[in-house]
Structure 1
C-alpha cells in the first residue's frame, strides 16, 4: 500500500487529505488532553481517528472528542505486557481495513505496536511522541527503532526530551528525532478560568493574602520541598501570604511535616486533587514550579493564559516554556526562589512579564502555532 503524499498549502501550511490514526495509552489525565490537542491540530483538513488502548467505552470522551471516530480497546495491564502479539494482529487488521496514511503514537508501547505492524508488511508513516525522559533506556527498544527507522519520526515534547532520546539512540539519524512542543487551546482555557475573587472563593482561600500556587503530583521529581523552604523564608517578611498546592502523591505527609517543622503549617495549604484545576489559576498571585525533571510543563502555559506570573526551575522543558516570559532559578536553590517571590510581590516588572508570557503562549504554544510546526516536520 502506498500512502498518500503529504501536501502543504502555502497559505496555511496545513496537511491535506490524510487519514490519521492516533494511538493513546488511555483517556485519563494527561493523555486525554494530549489526544484532544492532536485532534484539534489535525481535524480541519484530515480524517482523524483516536484509539485508546486502555479504558472502557466512555460517552463523555466520545461527546467531547474532535476526532471523527473514537475506538476503545479496554486493554488491561496483562495485555499490554510482553510481545503483545494479539494487539499487533488487531492493529494490523485495523490499519489495513481503514487504510491509514499516518499513525501518531503516544509513548513507546504505541510506537512498538505500530512498528511491528510495519514489519508485517503494511506501509504507513509513523510519528512517535515521547512525553517523558528515559523512554529508551532499554537496549531492546533502542535496537528495534534504530533498525526500522524508515517512515518513522520521533518527537520529544521539549528540546530536553529530544536530546535525551538522541543521546539514548546514537544509531538513529538525528533528523529522525525532533521537537514538537505540547499545545494549549488558549481561547478554550481562558473562557473557563474564573476571575480571582470567584476562584479564591471556590478554593476557600483568603481573599486578601498574597498566594503562591503550585499544581502537580507530590513526587520527588516535583521537589515541592524546595518550594516550601523558599515560602517559609518569604513568609517571615510577608506574613499575609499563603502557599497553595493542588495535587496528591506519596510525599504528602512528608511535605506536611516539613511545613510544620518550618512553622508554616497553617499557611502551606494542601488542597488535594482538584478537578479542572486550571479553572482556578487566577486565584494565585504567582505560580511556581520547582521540578527537577519536567519534560514540558503544561501547567506553566495554563498559568500564563491566566496572566499569572510564573517562576520555574531552570532545567528540563520548563525553562524552554518560560524563557524570558517569567522567572527562572537554579534547581533546589530555595534562597534564589525566595528572592524571586519578593521580586514578584514588589511588582518590579510584573505587568511586563505577564503580558510577555501571554504573548509567548500564543506565538509558540497555541494549537495553530504547534500545528504549523507539526506540518513542517511531517512534510520533510
Structure 2
C-alpha cells in the first residue's frame, strides 16, 4: 500500500536533542511509518554541525530571510508552492500562524486533501484583515487545533471560519518517562547551578521578557524575604529583560537571595533543584514549563490565565492574578509556610495530575486520529 505523504511545516528550525516537549517531533512519532512518509520543513534556519535533526523521513530547510517572510512574501510563497506541487503531499501540518497563513493562500491552487493548522496562543486573529482573510480562505480541506481548550475557544470566538466541526483542542503534553529520566537528583542539580543545598528554593523557567511576569515574582518574593530567611528564588532563562531584572534584584535587597541563572541547555534536567515551581506569566497559550515543573514532582503556583487555570486547579496548585503582586505574595507565603512533607505531598499531587491528563501517548493518538479521519473523509469526497 502506498504511504500517504505528510509535510509538517514550521516557521523556524528548533529541533531539540531531547523531544520530551518538542511537540512537532511528537507528531512525527505519532504517524506510523508503514502508512505515512513524513517531511519536516522549516521556513527559517538550519542545523549546524552536530545539531539534532528531525526524526521525519526527510528534512527541508528553505532558509528564507526575515525580510522575505514579511508583507506579500511572494518569493517565499512561490518557492513553497513549487515544492508542494512537485511533492504532491496528501497532508500538510502547519505549526503557528505564518505557515498556516501561507498554506491557506496556496491551497486554493494546490488542493492538498488535508491541511491542519495548529494555533499555540491567543491574538493571532485579532486583526480584522486576518479574520476576513481566514473567513475567505478556510474550506473543507482544513482542520484546526488549539493547544488547549482555551485556545480552541479563542479560535471559535473569532467567528471567521473556525467552527465546532473543523476546530479541535489537543492539549499539549510531555513525554513524562523521558522527562523524569533526564532530571538530575536534587543535590546534583543544585551543585551544577551553584545553588545553596539547604535553602527552600523557589524556581521559574522562561525567557526573560515582560510577558513572563518575572518582575512581579521578584516583588512578591521581596515582601517575604525577612519572614522566610531560608528561602531563595532562581530563574532559568535569558532575554532582553535581564539587565532590568538584575537592577530590580539590587533595588529590592535580594542580592544573594534571588538568582538569574541564564540560559541552560536542557533546562529540564535541573527541575528537581527546586521545592516550589512558579509561572507568573501575563499570557500563555499553554505553558509547557508548567507541565515540566509537574514532571519534577513540584507544587505549582501560576497565573490564572485561561489556558493555564484548568491545569493549576487540576494539579491542586495555587492560581494567582497576572501582575498582581498581592495574590502572588499570598501564594508564595502559603507554600513557604508548609513543612517539607506537606510541600512534597503537593508536588506528588501535581505529578499524578500530569500522568492522568497530559500523557504523550494520548497526544499522539489524538493527532493520529485527526489525520486518519481527515484523510478518510477527503478521499470519500474525492475518490
TM over 0.5, shorter chain: yes
TM-score by length of 1: 0.88
- Measured on the aligned residues, the alpha-carbon RMSD in Å equals 2.5
Change (3 A) 1:171 1:74: closer
Contact 2:134 2:161 in 1 (8 A): no
Q: Whole-Å Cα distance in 1 between the matches of residues 9 and 181 of structure 2?
A: 29
| 1:159 Cα deviation after fit | 2.4
Comparing 317-326 and 279-288, the one that deviates more: 317-326
Per-residue deviation, residues 249-298 of structure 1 (Å, max 9, x unmatched): 23223323332232222211111112211110110111101111111110
Quick one: structure 1 residues 276 and 99, their matched pair in 2 at CA, closer, same or farther if it must change by over 3 Å?
A: same
1-structure distance, mates of 2:62, 2:54: 16
Deviations 1:69-113 (A, max 9, x none): 111111111221222233333333333333322111011221122
Instruction: Give the structure 2 partner of residue 271 of structure 1.
Output: 261
In the alignment, structure 1 segments of 5+ residues that lack a partner are 5-15
Asked if structure 1 preserves the Cα contact closer than 8 Å seen for 2:42 and 2:62, the reply is: yes
Give the structure 2 partner of residue 23 of structure 1. Answer: 9
Q: Could you tell which deviates more after superposition, 278-287 or 91-100?
A: 91-100
Alpha-carbon distance in 2 for matches of 1:142, 1:58: 38
Distance apart, 1:310 and its partner CA: 1.3
The CA distance in 2 between the partners of 1:115 and 1:226, in whole Å, is 40
Q: Please say which of residues 192-201 and 234-243 is displaced more in the overlay.
A: 234-243
Q: How does 1:277-356 map to 2 (within 5 A)?
A: 277-325=267-315, 326-345=317-336, 346-347=338-339, 349-356=342-349
What is the correspondence of 1:197-208 to structure 2 with a 5 Å cutoff? 197-208=187-198
Q: Which residue of 1 aligns with 2:25?
A: 36
For residue 122 of structure 1, report the CA deviation from its aligned partner.
Answer: 2.4
Q: Does 1:98 align with 2:96?
A: no
Distance 1:281 1:29 in 2: 21
- Find the counterpart in structure 2 of residue 194 from structure 1: 184
Classify 1:298/1:323 alpha carbon distance in 2 versus 1 (closer, same or farther; 3 Å): same
> Secondary structure of the equivalent of 1:100?
coil
- Quote the residue 1:209 is aligned against: 199
Distance 1:332 1:291 in 2: 8
- Once structures 1 and 2 are overlaid, which stretch shifts more, 367-376 or 290-299? 367-376
* C-alpha contact (below 8 Å) 1:43/1:67 kept by paired residues: no
3-state SS of 2:290 partner = helix
Distance apart, 1:118 and its partner CA? 1.4
Change in CA separation of 1:112 and 1:281 when aligned onto 2, cut-off 3 Å: same
Q: Tell me which moved more, 175-184 or 234-243.
A: 175-184
For 1:269 and 1:57, the matched residues in 2 are separated by 31
Q: CA 1:337 to 1:368, structure 2 compared with 1: closer, same or farther past 3 Å?
A: same
Is the deviation greater in 272-281 or in 260-269? 260-269
Query: Does the alignment pair 1:131 with 2:124?
Result: no
Q: Distance in 2 between matches of 1:359 and 1:56?
A: 38
Match of 2:360 in 1: 367
How many residues get paired?
365
Match of 1:178 in 2: 168
For the Cα contact (< 8 Å) 1:128–1:154, is it kept in 2?
yes
Partner of 2:377: none
Contact 2:122/2:285 (CA < 8 Å) preserved in 1?
yes
Are 1:68 and 2:54 matched, yes or no? no
- Structure 1 stretch displaced more, 91-100 or 278-287: 91-100
CA drift at 1:205: 0.4
Aligned counterpart for 1:115 among listed residues 104, 122, 145: 104
TM-score (norm 2): 0.87
SS at match of 2:24: helix
Unaligned runs of 5+ in 2: 375-383
- 289-298 vs 160-169, which deviates more? 160-169
SS in 1 for 2:27: helix
Match of 2:247 among 257, 260, 264: 257
